Amino acid sequence: MPDVTAFLEKTVLFEARTHGYHNYRIPGIVVSPGGVVLATVEARRGRGGDWDANDIMLRRSLDNGQTWEPAQMIVTHDQHGEGLISNFVMINDPEKGLVHGVYCHSYQRAFYIASSDDGATFSEPVDITPAFDDFRTEYDWKVIATGPGHGLRLSNGRLIIPVWLSTGEGRGGHRPSIVSLIYSDEAGQTWKRGEIFILTDEQFLNPSETVAVELSDGRVLMNIRSESDPFRRLISTSPNGINQWTTPQYDEALLEPQCMASLLKLEHSEQTPSPIIFANPDNLERELPGVWERAHDRKRLAVKLSEDDCAIWSVSKVLEEGPAGYSDLAQAADGTIFCLYECGMMEKMADTRSITVAHFNLDWLRA
């Protein structure tokens, strides 16, 4: 008999071709110190591209995902002059009672904001581009990007946001690329650059969007998107989340269709080590319209579970069988899990039909 305690609920939060936007992409989700679920997206004008006049929108749930407040604007595309806003990253900081936020303007500047009222309002933006300028002596970038997805707060309070940088000559201005991070040991008041841990080369081609998790022994693991031929996620670890990164290795269990993924340690658990979950399109087929060179279809979004610090992914379950792309994961205080993801397709792949939130528990994942 099925486990009657298992549940999965889905709610559409944003729909393409509504409210003056072509589509909505790049989901981000956290649960605030006060238990409010915060779901953000890039609201994209034009044709829904990375370089369109994009805004950041937010919806809040005060009842653990049962109902959602109307969408509110967090940052507008013209707030910092001509250009666009992208790659909004949030970090829940229960010790400080804050939700930290970092985003990019036109892939050339970065700004920090924070909320002390569970996402109802945010502070005035502070320019933190100098943290990226410190990379220039080593890598003279033209394009920078944070995240996307949620950032990481370590048990010692350190805030970490994976970043990628590009000299901008390749397709879309996002290639060739390298991967590093910025971090704050002062609750977001100052930010510094970390060590570059993957440079694009024949072995590791165009590493980019990266997600992070703190392991049970305090190491930080980075799970990295790339365009490398094995089409698997890349893994590197550091003892402190700043430097001394290990040589990247492929995780054979995690397919890489060339898409952002999400990674989350389940804090509200009595297990040791704590379970870790991962989500991305678990697929290497090429059937959808609009798929580009070296990429595969964004579909069959799956959630995987590891109970040994990402060494083995013992459970894998499909959350969305059809077209589905970027995703982000968060956990509520009651232990239930949220996955906010790009769902469906309009005219072609990456022209997302909706941003949907799935709410489920570990019993559903293990069932």
Please, which pLDDT band fits residue 173 given cuts at 50, 70 and 90?
A: confident
Q: Is the pTM of this model over 0.85?
A: yes
Residue 3 CB neighbour total at 10 angstroms: 11
**Higher per-residue confidence, 172 vs 181:** 181
Q: What order do you get walking across the sheet with 37-44 strand by strand? A: 23-31, 37-44, 55-61, 72-75
Q: Give the pLDDT score at 213.
A: 98
Lowest-confidence pick of 67-76, 145-154, 162-171, 355-364: 162-171
pLDDT, position 84: 94
Whether pLDDT at 2 is above 80: no
Closest among 364, 228, 336, 349 to 281, alpha carbons compared: 349
The total number of residues written for the chain in this structure:
367
Q: Which pLDDT score is estimated for 4?
A: 63
The predicted model gives 354-367 an average pLDDT of: 97
Coil vs helix vs strand at 362: helix
- Averaged pLDDT for residues 78-96: 96
For residues 30 and 362, what is the distance between their CA atoms, to the nearest angstrom?
A: 18
pLDDT at residue 1 is higher than 60: no
131 three-state secondary structure: helix
Whole-angstrom distance, CA of residue 171 vs CA of residue 86:
18
Mean pLDDT for the stretch of residues 36-48? 96
Look at residue 271 and tell me whether its pLDDT is greater than 90: no
Q: What is the pLDDT of residues 287-297, one digit of tens each?
A: 999 999 889 99
Instruction: Determine the Cα–Cα distance for residues 197 and 240; give it in Å rounded to an integer.
Output: 13
DSSP 21: -
249 near 299, Cβ under 8 Å? no
Closest CA relative to residue 160, chosen from 68, 222, 234, 104:
222
Coil/strand/helix, residue 232: strand
Q: 3 pLDDT exceeds 80? A: no
